[in-house]
A and B are shown apart, each in its own frame.
Chain A
Amino acid sequence: MSLARMAWRYLASRPAVTLLTLAGIALGAALVCGVLVLKRESESAMAREAALFDLVVGAKGGSLQLVLSCLYHLDVPAGNIPYEDYERLRRDSRVRWAVPIGLGDNYEGYRIVGTEPHFFELADREGNPFFAFAEGRHFESRFEAVLGSEVARATGLAPGDRFAGTHGLVRVAGSEVHDDFPYAVCGILEPTGTTHDRAIFGSLESVWEIHETEDRIHAAIQGTASLRRDSPREATAVLLRLETPGLRLRLADEIRKRSGGIAAIPLNEVMRLYQGIVSPMQRALLAIAGAVVAVSCLAVLATLLQAGERRRRDLAILRSLGARPHEVAALVFLEGALLCGLGLGLGWLLGHGALAVAAAWLRESTGLVVSTWSFAPGEAAALATMALCGLLASLAPAFAAYRRPPLADLSLDS
């Protein structure tokens, strides 16, 4: 019988203590793994999305608000900019690609983004098409709509189905439903792992038509129709890809000076948000997880010391049977090593398993697509550090077992 098997049998002989110690280690490891995976996924999702565009041009207000509202569909935009601004930017020789977006409505909480068909020609930084159609095609006329993958999954809408948008960017009970302007689904996008999965895309003209008509109706009701002229065409924002990223700062500065709007650099804003809010929170979570792991290591030490005290007689018996001091020390050390190894393994499974279980909810509620079963950067190192701490904690009782002479615990003298 190997020493490892003997160590396992000793652990199995006191299941309550073993399970509680394992649970402590596993919980700490699960927390560390979970936080690190979420950190990787959120960083990569935010950076992936932010890196798609060099500049976001919108109405005066906060840069972060502009990026969050028009790129991540999280905030409310400060206002609109004239459509002419888009046309002028499109013609600028430093702009490789530009697309306007118009916000205003939602369907079941998913934002309806008015844009132009060439939006779907967007390429990633390697030049590969960013969007792919799982079903159907992009919109070609007014009141056709393309659904992000998550919207299609959550709403069950399919090409050919019709739906009506609701006024406002978020779902609020009692909001005005644009029943007279139903959209027809013409395509569904493949998942992108970005917030585009949680958006509905239609033509900008559709957005204009809905709101101009609604405005005219409201004006007629209020008796002010004759006083109103047709409102100027507007966009909520313009998304830009420049000929070279080095032009970002200069062009942003020019836009700020010559128009009534602002230009935000998405990557800068995201990094600012990340370093200001998200990163400290993640560090705090990691610190908590580290504290749990430290407590677990102390629990391993306490468990082994307690077990060692209870088993002094057994270790003495083994010595009387011919076991060498290093063999009984190895037996005690292996118990600690098994506890740590099993605890960390269980913790990894628990952390990643919990993320796998929560993946659908995460995708639905945050748009975050989590790759659950792969190691996050730093995760292996964190687990190795935890294992090292556990093994160090096992050394003390093992050394005590090594040093103890057998006779004292056999009670043989009379």
Chain B
Amino acid sequence: MVELRDVSVRLGRDAGRELRFSLERFEAARGEAVALVGPSGCGKSTLLNLVAGLRRADVGQVAVEGQDLAALGEAALDRYRGRVCGQVFQSFHLLAPFSALENVMIGLRFAGCRGAEARRRAEAALDRVGLSGRRRALPATLSAGERQRVAIARAIATDPPLLLADEPTGSLDVATGREVFALLRETASEAGRTLLMVTHDADLAAELPRRYDCAGLVASRPHEKGGAAA
């Protein structure tokens, strides 16, 4: 389902030293739920961004469902993000002027689903996360837990095979965090989705069947003139 091989990404340079993400091999099977763990700045989110197509690898291969993302043009990569990846962020990333229902419908719009069908699927997704009574509510009027539920509804409304969650409970209290985590797991497992979840919460990570330790993926080394090292 998800496969990264010999990936190298230059992240930046600081005081003559180069920050580089390097990964020999990572795989996640269809339907598998993986916790990406490790200290801050170790490369968890970079790994997630590479799979989401938000960042391209300098070298190496990032493949999702057999499709090499490096081979995709910008337009195809945009379509890939809309249809294959459902993303959930720590700070929810909802659009403030739009209601919960509209936020979900906008996600569907850019995945190619519009009109009555988009409304039907958005309503079903909000029903699934327990927010059928809050469809018209603006993000500012929702609690943090409700906002993350809307974000999950937006992520699953397009029925993607892959769910990417970056610290989905990081802005929530413990109890709400556990509810959101449970919802995320359910919505992934019931549809056979692959779930990659970045988390600092060791307890939550322990509940997922597999943990992948990202420590050491990002390393600082002296800058080498003349090109990237794999």
Contacts and interface: CB of A to CB of B under 8 A. Distances in A.
Interface of A: 1, 6, 9-10, 12-13, 313-314, 317-325, 327, 406-407, 410, 412-414
B111 A410 contact: no
A320 B88 CA distance: 10
A228 B15 CA distance: 114
Contact of B110 (A10, A314, A318): A318
Interface of B: 11, 40-46, 48-49, 52, 54-55, 74-75, 78-83, 87, 89, 93, 95-98, 102, 105-107, 109-111, 114, 118, 154, 166, 198
Contacts of A1: 102, 105-106, 109, 114, 118
B81 A320 contact: yes
B117 to A, nearest CB: 13
Contact of B79 (A10, A322, A412): A322
Contacts of B78: 319, 322-325
A324 B97 contact: no
Contact of B75 (A314, A324, A413): A324
Contacts of A9: 97-98, 102
Nearest to B99: A9
B54 A317 contact: no
Given A1-B114, A321-B111, 5 more contacts: A313-B93, A319-B78, A321-B107, A322-B78, A324-B78
B219 to A, nearest CB: 15
A320 B96 CA distance: 16
Nearest to B52: A320
B106 A414 contact: no
Contacts of B154: 321
Contact of A413 (B49, B79, B80, B93): B49
Contacts of B102: 1, 9
A9 B45 CA distance: 32
18 contacts: A1-B106, A6-B98, A10-B97, A13-B97, A318-B106, A320-B93, A321-B87, A321-B106, A321-B154, A322-B78, A322-B110, A407-B55, A410-B89, A412-B45, A412-B48, A412-B54, A412-B89, A413-B45
Contacts of B96: 13, 314
Contact of A321 (B44, B45, B81): B81
Nearest to B198: A414
A9 B98 CA distance: 8
- Interface of A, helix, strand, loop or mixed by DSSP: helix
A413 B11 contact: yes
Contacts of A10: 97
A412 B166 contact: yes
A313 B95 CA distance: 9
A12 B98 CA distance: 11
B105 A314 contact: no
A10 B98 CA distance: 9
Contact of B54 (A13, A314, A324, A406): A406
A323 B110 contact: yes
Contacts of A322: 78-83, 107, 110-111
A13 B94 CA distance: 14
Contacts of A325: 74, 78
Nearest to B41: A414
Of listed B83, B96, B97, B166, residue having the most chain A CB within 10 A: B97
A414 B55 contact: no
A279 to B, nearest CB: 48
Nearest to B38: A414
A50 to B, nearest CB: 58
Contacts of B95: 314, 317-318
A321 B89 contact: no
Nearest to B11: A413
A6 B110 CA distance: 13
B107 to A, nearest CB: 5
B199 to A, nearest CB: 11
Nearest to A322: B82
Given A324-B75, A327-B110, A12 B97 contact: yes
A325 B73 CA distance: 13
Contacts of A318: 95, 106, 110
A318 B102 CA distance: 13
A1 B105 CA distance: 7
Contact of B40 (A6, A323, A324, A414): A414
A135 to B, nearest CB: 61
A27 B52 CA distance: 48
A318 B82 CA distance: 9
Most buried by B among A317, A319, A323, A413: A413
Highest count of chain B CB atoms <10 Å: which of A314, A317, A324, A412: A412
Contacts of A313: 93
A324 B52 CA distance: 15
Query: What are the 10 A-B residue pairs with the smallest beta carbon separation, nearest first?
Result: A322-B82, A13-B97, A322-B110, A414-B45, A323-B110, A324-B78, A317-B93, A9-B97, A322-B81, A321-B110
B140 to A, nearest CB: 10
B223 to A, nearest CB: 19
